[in-house]
Amino acid sequence: MYTVQHCAAQMVKQKTGGNIVCISSAAGHHGCAPMTCAAYVASKHAVLGLVKQVAGELAEHGIRCNSISPGIMRTAMLKKIFEGTQGREELLSSGCMLKRVGEPDELHGAMLYLMSDASSYMTGNDILVNGGKL
């Protein structure tokens, strides 16, 4: 939230418009039970709400605000979750249509789209990149 506030203030001051892209999580859309991570899910849901509100506040300044919600991605955090628990990766990836964990590089296309003029009529929205979560 503070990063968005700081960036938005600078963009408004410069009067050049621009794009803000926040990173949420697919968990902000559908939770991640049976894991116990209510605080994580709540914080990611909050990012989605922040994006919608900020988009409305900044639209008059030509500033768009959107978000990306990654699904299960092979990150350092996920590696810790998988450590010592055999079968957890298969269990988590079985819940998506592609039946695999995503790679961080697979977020590049969504980010490029949101930062480019190709998405010039898009604000206050989220792109789910989650392998087709069932």
> Check: CATH 3.40.50.720 for 2-129?
yes
Backbone φ and ψ for 119, nearest 5 degrees, come out as -110, 30
Q: Which sequence positions are flagged as catalytic?
A: 40
| Domains of the chain by residue range | 2-129
What does the pLDDT look like over 13-58, one tens digit per residue? 999 999 999 999 999 988 877 677 899 999 999 999 999 999 999 9
Its pTM stands at: 0.90
pLDDT value of residue 18: 97
Query: Nearest 5 degrees, angle CA 27-CA 29-CA 33?
Result: 45
